[in-house]
Structure 1
């Protein structure tokens, strides 16, 4: 019986593995690595000859097809995702009390690193920790996908972002050479993101920092990961000492008076009937950030630093969850 199970397991692995060395696009890809970057073809052929196709990753990037849903399916979706309360559902886990507690512990555990990083990059430690907390639960969940196989699957199996993933695969292979690691031994997310801060290979190259001075950028190590997240924020325009966001008041329960979102900016004088709930010393342009709660819309001003957080993940809800988590972490640290 055990032998039969073992044979089935081996057959499953064999069936899921694929040889990409005869794929015309892969051949062209390898040619570039050989001719432009002096890679050995035998090394590349060995890598691409045994790739486990990551079907679950591929499903996330398949071309979107409009579905003709039945009335019953539509009703089920509405029940699962009601019109109101989107922010409540989103923030439930992102800004949980346990995540705040773990954030405080994470900063305390790496206090010396955070102090040095904050001094160099001027990004507050609670915001760095909040990003790492939301991305990987402070390093507990960095992903279980083999990055080389995942990026190869997404680069050469048909999906809506082939070109993007071909570029990321190229960056990843180049990184394996400069940073001296085996590309088959790196694991991360279904999209190919790596380390505590979930950097794509292109961001790894652009913003990665060897903060512990060991000659390598290792985003799985807290020293390098913390500094790299801070560097990412700094390079994208983080302004020292400036606020991120503040709650504002308006008349009514649902806000429709002005366009909301992180892209649209206003002079505060333009916004009639909207006032910060607390004193807010910020004279720059603001964004109106609307949080869809179950019983009302919560409205916030977002400053330039709020926009900077959206460069990490292009979502107002993501940036607000980082801000609220960071604020709660900072408050909890003051209590102790």
Structure 2
């Protein structure tokens, strides 16, 4: 390896011949510049060419080459090294789910149920999913649509999918190595697994864009994990379970009617039933997020909203939902 030394030997030599010293300096300067090794390690530079093999693979799988070319030549489409690094550092247990259980959050959830009462009723009638559980999910996912995430979904999925290429994977390792406790082997296995998963989700995203006539790959934003919209659906779930709630001819999960109806559709598909017991409700919610912290929090919010509903009805107010009787209790530890 060639390393630039700040004090080359020739600089401290006493040159008996002026021309000889000049020649030595020229050789050293040329060597240092041609190697280009910096004093400190910097993250690798990723260009659009990193997606070339990915584009070829997508084209082979039936996607239009002209569209792919326009997407990946878009200046807003970049390799999201900072964003996808979270896949190798993120720890679910560190998330503070208690923030959704305080009185201020529950009050906002009740207000949301009043504001969007018509759509919640329609979702409940169509899918048999309690409006309180729909609201609880939306509260935790995006604070009822007020925090949608700023990551570009297309970039995140493309960047992860591009790690199927060994050269890309090794280049990204140089960036992530100081930021993770993983060994190189652990990183390599996780990167390969995640690239396969991301490629499948990327294909669903492209299919969704084609179906909805979307042409800007950078327009869809969401979490670092590739989920988007108010309910934070992955593209595969958008294609399979998202619903046009307001019947405007398109599925737009950044609108509340479509988000509400789509959460109900998702939970119904995975087995939610009115009056289901605690254990079954918990297991259904794990399909939304494979985290016990997450499922426990959703159930606790659900119970708080149902109790508030009973109190409101007892005081003569208009209830948010029907009393199911057999409600899930506090979360499972």
What interval of TM-score do these two structures reach, taking the shorter chain for normalisation? 0.5 to 0.7
Q: How much is the aligned-residue C-alpha RMSD, in angstroms?
A: 2.3
1:224-280 CA distance string (max 9 Å, x none): 11011011010101122223x3xxxxxxxxxxxxxxxxxxxxxxxxxxxxxxxxxxx
Does 2:275 align with 1:241? yes
Shift of 1:16: 7.1
The separation in 2 between residues aligned to 1:91 and 1:52, in whole angstroms, is 32
The separation in 2 between residues aligned to 1:125 and 1:45, in whole angstroms, is 43
Shift of 1:180: 1.7
Q: Which residue of 2 aligns with 1:56?
A: 82
Judging changes above 3 Å, is the alpha-carbon distance between structure 1 residues 28 and 102 closer, same or farther for their aligned structure 2 residues?
same
**Counterpart contact for 2:242–2:258, Cα < 8 Å:** yes
**Counterpart contact for 1:168–1:202, Cα < 8 Å:** yes
Matches within 5 A, 1:66-85: none
Bigger proportion of residues as helix: 2
1:21-57 CA distance string (max 9 Å, x none): 76223312223234xxxx2x22211211242221222
The SS at the match of 1:185 is coil
Shift of 1:90: 4.2
Q: Where does structure 2 lack aligned partners over 5 or more consecutive residues?
A: 1-43, 164-168, 170-190, 313-333
Shift of 1:155: 1.1
Which structure has the bigger radius of gyration?
2
Q: Which residue of 2 aligns with 1:31?
A: 60
Does 2:245 align with 1:211? yes
Judging changes above 3 Å, is the alpha-carbon distance between structure 1 residues 22 and 202 closer, same or farther for their aligned structure 2 residues?
closer
The separation in 2 between residues aligned to 1:30 and 1:191, in whole angstroms, is 24
Judging changes above 3 Å, is the alpha-carbon distance between structure 1 residues 128 and 153 closer, same or farther for their aligned structure 2 residues?
same
Shift of 1:63: 9.0
Q: Which residue of 2 aligns with 1:121?
A: 127
- The alignment's TM-score, normalised by the length of structure 2, stands at 0.66
Among candidates 310, 314, 322, match of residue 298 of structure 2: 322
Q: Which residue of 2 aligns with 1:170?
A: 203
Judging changes above 3 Å, is the alpha-carbon distance between structure 1 residues 163 and 222 closer, same or farther for their aligned structure 2 residues?
same
Q: Which residue of 1 aligns with 2:308?
A: 332
The separation in 2 between residues aligned to 1:180 and 1:109, in whole angstroms, is 30
The separation in 2 between residues aligned to 1:16 and 1:181, in whole angstroms, is 29
Matches within 5 A, 1:250-261: none
**Counterpart contact for 1:94–1:134, Cα < 8 Å:** yes
Bigger proportion of residues as strand: 1
Does 2:177 align with 1:148? no
Judging changes above 3 Å, is the alpha-carbon distance between structure 1 residues 94 and 56 closer, same or farther for their aligned structure 2 residues?
farther
- The alignment's TM-score, normalised by the length of structure 1, stands at 0.66
Shift of 1:97: 1.8
Shift of 1:98: 1.7
Q: Which residue of 2 aligns with 1:93?
A: 99
Q: Which residue of 1 aligns with 2:181?
A: none
The SS at the match of 1:328 is helix
Shift of 1:329: 1.8
Aligned residues: 237
Judging changes above 3 Å, is the alpha-carbon distance between structure 1 residues 335 and 200 closer, same or farther for their aligned structure 2 residues?
same
Q: Which residue of 1 aligns with 2:68?
A: 44
**Counterpart contact for 2:54–2:161, Cα < 8 Å:** no
